[in-house]
A and B are shown apart, each in its own frame.
Chain A
Amino acid sequence: DAGVIQSPRHEVTEMGQEVTLRCKPISGHDYLFWYRQTMMRGLELLIYFNNNVPIDDSGMPEDRFSAKMPNASFSTLKIQPSEPRDSAVYFCASSSRTSGSTDTQYFGPGTRLTVL
């Protein structure tokens, strides 16, 4: 299994530009999560999906952030317009709650975003 795949691994952009982060969850997993990690705030959950449907987006910082999951194998996190304070490492994770699962989350390698 390839694990959770994220792209790009690094993104440098200028303030005001649109940024799109991509995630491919582990095949067969029915939950997908987006996290953000900064030195100041640590690891924070932004939003999570179950069977492609957003369940809890209370962690999304503001309307500039949006997330979609058009199918079971792909999700995007978009920031428009981006601001320097959005600079962080963004992680995608997936999980399965089928019978017998350990209810654990498997994280991708992250996307390091720098907004100048």
Chain B
Amino acid sequence: DAKTTQPTSMDCAEGRAANLPCNHSTISGNEYVYWYRQIHSQGPQYIIHGLKNNETNEMASLIITEDRKSSTLILPHATLRDTAVYYCIVRVRNGVYKLSFGAGTTVTVRA
């Protein structure tokens, strides 16, 4: 699976959009971008995934650049409950089943 690079931490104001970047310059054509988050003392939670088109669900939006070498997870209206570690993972869908969690980005939403 391709390696990803994320900022270590970022702050966001409550009610504002949070934009979380992820670089995956060695991504292969059949690899998807997955985002998970882990709220303190809880198990990781799936957020969204995509291949090349932008995706949106009830939790977030995922914007993937045209060359697919980077992506941005957008939390449209961050709340205090969105404070968590966010993991960007690149892997082949339905491929080898190892989810490689890196260090992620610690997002702190402030009131």
The chain A residues found within 8 Å of chain B, CB to CB, are 4, 31, 33, 42-43, 45, 48, 55-56, 91, 93, 95, 97, 102-110
**Is chain B's binding surface mostly helix, strand, loop or mixed?**
loop
List 8 A-B pairs, minimum CB-CB distance, nearest first. Answer: A107-B43, A43-B101, A104-B46, A107-B44, A91-B43, A103-B93, A110-B43, A45-B98
Cβ-defined contact, B46 with A102, below 8 A:
yes
Q: Which residues of A contact B103 (CB under 8 A)?
A: 42
Given contacts A42-B101, A42-B102, A109-B43, could you give 18 more A-B pairs where the C-beta distance is less than 8 Å?
A31-B97, A33-B97, A43-B38, A43-B101, A45-B99, A56-B98, A93-B43, A93-B44, A102-B46, A102-B49, A103-B93, A103-B94, A104-B49, A105-B44, A106-B46, A107-B45, A109-B42, A110-B42
Which has the most chain A C-beta neighbours within 10 Å: B43, B93, B102, B103? B43
**Is chain A's binding surface mostly helix, strand, loop or mixed?**
strand
B86 contacts the other chain (Cβ, under 8 Å)? no
A95–chain B nearest beta-carbon distance, Å:
8
The chain B residues found within 8 Å of chain A, CB to CB, are 34, 38, 41-46, 49, 93-94, 97-99, 101-103
Question: CA of A106 to CA of B102 in the docked complex: distance in angstroms?
Answer: 18
Which has the most chain B C-beta neighbours within 10 Å: A4, A105, A109? A105
Which has the most chain A C-beta neighbours within 10 Å: B44, B101, B103? B44
Q: Which residues of B contact A31 (CB under 8 A)?
A: 97
Cβ-defined contact, A97 with B43, below 8 A:
no
Q: Which residues of A contact B99 (CB under 8 A)?
A: 45, 105
Cβ-defined contact, B94 with A97, below 8 A:
yes
Q: Which residues of A contact B93 (CB under 8 A)?
A: 103
